[in-house]
Amino acid sequence: MEPFSFSLQDILYFANVLVSSTVVILAFSLLAYTLTYNFLNPVARRFAFLLGLVMIVYAADVALTRVISLDSAGRWLRFQWLGIALLPYAYHTFSNAVLRTTNYRTSLRSWISLISGLLSALSAFFALFTDLLVSQVNYEPPISYLEAGPLFWPFATFFGVVTLLSLQNIRLARSRCLTPGSRQRLTYLLLGFMAPGIGTFPYLIALGRHTTGADFATPIFGLSILGNGVVAAMLVVMAYTVAYFGVLTPDRVVRYRLLRFFTRGPIVAILVILAVQTLPTVERILGLPRDIVLFSVITGVIVTSQLILSVTKSLVDRVIYREDREEIVWLRELDRRLLTTTDLRQFLENHLTSLCELLRVPAGFVAATVGPELLLEAVVGPGGTRESILQVQDWSDTLNSAVRIRQPNGVGQKSPPAGETPTPTIRHFRPIYHAGFWVWPLVVSGEENGGETVMGILGIQANSQAALFTNDEQDALNRMVERIGLALMDRKLQKQVFVALRRIIPGIDRIQEIRGLVPYGPADPSNPSAEVMEPSPVHNPEFESWVKDALSHYWGGPKLNHSPLIKLRVVNRAIEDADDNPTKALRLVLGRAIENMRPEGKPELSTPEWLLYNILEMRFIQGRKVREIAERLAISESDLYRKQRIAIGQVARALTEMEQIDWETLITPLANGEPKPEKTASLGERLN
């Protein structure tokens, strides 16, 4: 057989297997990506279910190209129907989840999803275990299919109707988007939505015996390649849209993460599959055994693809980041240059080792100043060196003495030209002898404020009290001292970066949450003039339950620290008054809400107008037990619980109204010890 003696049908058959394998790889890869990064989002979970069914259908298609018996073909064809039968339910529940993200909820669509789920499950049962939906196998390689059963056309009608209803849900969701970005993403989803359904529907069953014969194999393979290629492309489009649901990271991070995942995962896998599919031809051309060709081709594909990815990284950055490239470069430089604690210790230990080798001494150490104290950063030497250094109590006094005995070594520091930022340098000192060590102070000069900063000390074990060095040793020593001093200075600056990051990360998270709030149109499409409100926890049906949980842990606990009420706008406005602590800000807001319920005048335990406030005060603020509160208020415990529910509901109402009040107007008088403003007092009167 000649190496290249292929007919058109053989080429189309090979291409169809390759494209079907590509769809399987894409579906599995996107399923894994979605469950990894978007698992908590209902839209993403339902999309993952849809991808799993598509993967089943196309995996069976690939397996059918290799079956060698009628029984094997029948098992794979019925297994394929597990994906086909459940697809209508997956379509509708996915589209319904997308529609819910636009704050559109109707019980009718939920019932449709439930009914489609029951019918899909029933169809899967009929396809797997009976001949009602599909019957006998037509095994005519390279094409195999099942005959239509009596329920096939009712199922086809059900499949089409549910798919169109699902498409209508996506169209409605797109029409409710108010921002160009969200509308554009749902446009992509709308364009790709029908592709999986069209690609997985069993057309061969519908066409029946009209597809038998070798004459029909070539056009069927051609249409299958075209359809499967469209399905593969549309799956990527849909996955790109779903990747943004429930994710609070910036768009550039989502794009970059998705692209890198594709290039390092599915694309490499597709290239490997292509290489494996071409192995028989390569074997015949080279005349080599299969295992040698297999190892060589797969290794070459994997290594070459990774090399191409590394070389094209800057091009990928241009495509993804565009106008933000300069800022991204700075962020990556920060990642490369920041010194961790381990990095600093290794850096110092390497330089200490070089110094000890240069001066022919056995031990050395570096200590950094932390306030008035010294912190031992790195030690080299025999066992017990660290303990012997720590036993010396007057290292700080020694440092002060060394700084006072200043004697610069070499040419003096030149002043920078006017308008230029001075370059920090390390002052050179003559070492002093103390506790068996030569000690150098590490002092940075030339900072912007014109001052000097003591960064720490360098100690090298002395072999004599007099520090006598050759010119070469002194030059090398000066370079080492300067590097160590600058490393300590850089580490000090970088610690400030970490401190700043710890302070700004919560703010960044809040910004990302705000970015994730996409405004949508009114829930009632017949009333387009209805007011559009930004999502807030006060609109959630479980809002009052969250208030109760937060009050139960008022003085600290997981129900307060992780309460959804932290997302309240009034809590965000109170964050500055709570030392940038969200939990403390929530406690401050809850306390203000309870204070709003306090009646005017002298406190009374028995009067009805004070009852709800007293329950909240004693139960949650003072933390008293239920029996003790009931005895003090002269009510039964069951009545106390009933009144407590009413009081919590009043707090929830107070929080809802506080969302609309300027926080500074609300909290400033309280923080200054002044009486409540009239606006707040009237709020309390209304709640009582």
pLDDT in tens, 78-105: 999 999 999 999 999 999 999 888 878 7
Torsion sign across C-alpha atoms 273, 277, 280, 281: negative
pLDDT, tens only, 336-374:
667 677 777 888 888 888 888 888 889 999 988 876 678
Q: How far apart are CA 316 and CA 482, in angstroms?
A: 40
The model's confidence at residue 510, banded by pLDDT at 50, 70 and 90, is: low
* Cβ contact 574:679 at 8 Å: no
List residues bridging with 23 in a β-sheet. none
pLDDT, tens only, 512-551:
554 444 444 444 444 443 333 345 677 666 788 888 888 8
Q: Which H helix or E strand runs over 669? A: helix 663-671
The model's confidence at residue 423, banded by pLDDT at 50, 70 and 90, is: low
Cβ partners under 8 Å of residue 38, min gap 6: 44, 45, 242, 243, 245, 246, 247
* Cβ contact 245:38 at 8 Å: yes
Q: How far apart are CA 368 and CA 485, in angstroms?
A: 9
Q: Which residue has the higher pLDDT, 248 or 474?
A: 474
Q: Over the chain, what is the mean pLDDT? A: 78
The model's confidence at residue 635, banded by pLDDT at 50, 70 and 90, is: confident
Full-model pTM? 0.56
Q: Determine which of 159-163, 544-548, 625-629, 668-672 has the lowest per-residue pLDDT on average.
A: 668-672
Cβ partners under 8 Å of residue 375, min gap 6: 367, 368, 369
Q: How far apart are CA 200 and CA 205, in angstroms?
A: 12
Cβ partners under 8 Å of residue 463, min gap 6: 359, 360, 361
What's the token pair of residue 124? 């899967």
Q: How far apart are CA 534 and CA 246, in angstroms?
A: 16
pLDDT, tens only, 585-595:
888 888 888 88
Q: Which residue has the higher pLDDT, 311 or 360?
A: 360
Q: How far apart are CA 205 and CA 211, in angstroms?
A: 9
3-state secondary structure of 670: helix
Span between the terminal Cα atoms of the chain, in Å: 95
- The percent of residues above 70 in pLDDT, for the chain, comes to 77
3-state secondary structure of 457: strand
* Cβ contact 619:644 at 8 Å: yes
> How wide is the angle at C-alpha 504 spanned by C-alphas 502 and 509, nearest 5°?
105
Give the residue ranges of DSSP H helices in 101-145.
107-129
Q: How far apart are CA 124 and CA 147, in angstroms?
A: 16
Question: Residue 282: what pLDDT?
Answer: 63
Phi-psi region of 3 (alpha: psi -120 to 50; beta: other; left: phi over 0): alpha
Q: Which residue has the higher pLDDT, 298 or 153?
A: 153
The model's confidence at residue 676, banded by pLDDT at 50, 70 and 90, is: very low
Res 607 pLDDT > 80? no
Cβ partners under 8 Å of residue 180, min gap 6: none
* Residue found under tokens 């295992």: 291
List residues bridging with 433 in a β-sheet. 438
* DSSP code, position 567: G
Averaged pLDDT for residues 627-640: 83
User: Which domains does the chain show, CATH number per domain?
Assistant: 8-248 (1.20.1070.10), 341-410+420-494 (3.30.450.40), 537-687 (no CATH)
Highest mean pLDDT among 235-239, 440-444, 552-556: 235-239
Averaged pLDDT for residues 490-517: 62
- The percent of residues above 90 in pLDDT, for the chain, comes to 14
What's the token pair of residue 190? 């709308």
Question: Residue 132: what pLDDT?
Answer: 92
Cβ partners under 8 Å of residue 383, min gap 6: none
Question: Residue 447: what pLDDT?
Answer: 54
* Residue 446: alpha-carbon gap to chain centroid: 42
